[in-house]
Chain A
Amino acid sequence: DAGVTQSPTHLIKTRGQHVTLRCSPISGHKSVSWYQQVLGQGPQFIFQYYEKEERGRGNFPDRFSARQFPNYSSELNVNALLLGDSALYLCASSLAGLDNGQGAFEQFFGPGTRLTVL
């Protein structure tokens, strides 16, 4: 079975531009989360979507937005790019969305999209 896929693999943009990153979850997974990994740091949570609704948002500005489609794939959009947005953007999918409060279900990560802002 195919794992989480992300496109594009690499992307180079200039400051002020807009970017759209795409993610396809594992078949049967209904929840998608996005993480930003700046070089030398651990991933930081951006969003979680489940059943096409935003369920959670990390500490990121409104320039960051996302959506989930009926087939559970997802897009992450970033407007007005800054140099500091250069990072590896990771998408993760999981079976469950609504949690029983345990938070124990596993997230499967894609290979990421490397965004460079010049």
Chain B
Amino acid sequence: AQSVTQLGSHVSVSEGALVLLRCNYSSSVPPYLFWYVQYPNQGLQLLLKYTSAATLVKGINGFEAEFKKSETSFHLTKPSAHMSDAAEYFCAVSLAFSGGYNKLIFGAGTRLAVHP
């Protein structure tokens, strides 16, 4: 069964430092993977998605993620953290079933704190 594991429920970085948020997935079929960001008291905003076109995916706000099949990973990175990046980040895999519907399976989330 498909599942997503996010390593580290809390990550703290200094402003300007590298951001690395880890995500590992398990999937019996080629996965479609997503990173979403959630700011306090808001819904989810898509940062980027992997749909098998390219293993290195660039998203909004300077974020990117690399799909590594051999490691079953889809880690999210940003070269230089900004204070506005402080939020909760969710990795998700899209699972399609027969009958034509699909759902997103989310990890537990990683809260990113950015300090001056």
Contact = CB atoms under 8 A, between A and B. Distances in A.
Q: Is this pair of chains taken from one and the same complex?
A: yes
Interface string A45-58: 10010100001101
Given A48-B101, A97-B101, A106 B46 contact: yes
A99 B94 CA distance: 12
Nearest to A33: B103
B99 to A, nearest CB: 6
B42 interface: yes
A52 to B, nearest CB: 14
Interface of B: 4, 32, 34, 36, 41-46, 49, 51-52, 90, 92, 94-97, 99-109
Q: Is the interface of B mostly helix, strand, loop or mixed?
A: strand
B96 A103 contact: yes
A99 B46 contact: no
A42 B107 contact: yes
A103 B102 contact: yes
Contact of B99 (A42, A56, A105): A56
Of B34, B95, B101, B105, chain A has the most CB atoms within 10 Å of the CB of: B101
Given A45-B104, A50-B101, A103 B44 contact: no
Interface string A19-52: 0000000000000010100001111110010100
Given A41-B108, A103-B95, 19 more contacts: A4-B43, A33-B103, A35-B104, A42-B4, A42-B108, A42-B109, A43-B104, A48-B103, A50-B100, A55-B101, A56-B99, A56-B103, A92-B44, A97-B100, A98-B100, A99-B96, A102-B96, A103-B96, A107-B104
Contact of A99 (B41, B43, B102, B106): B102
Given A33-B103, A58-B103, A41 B109 contact: yes
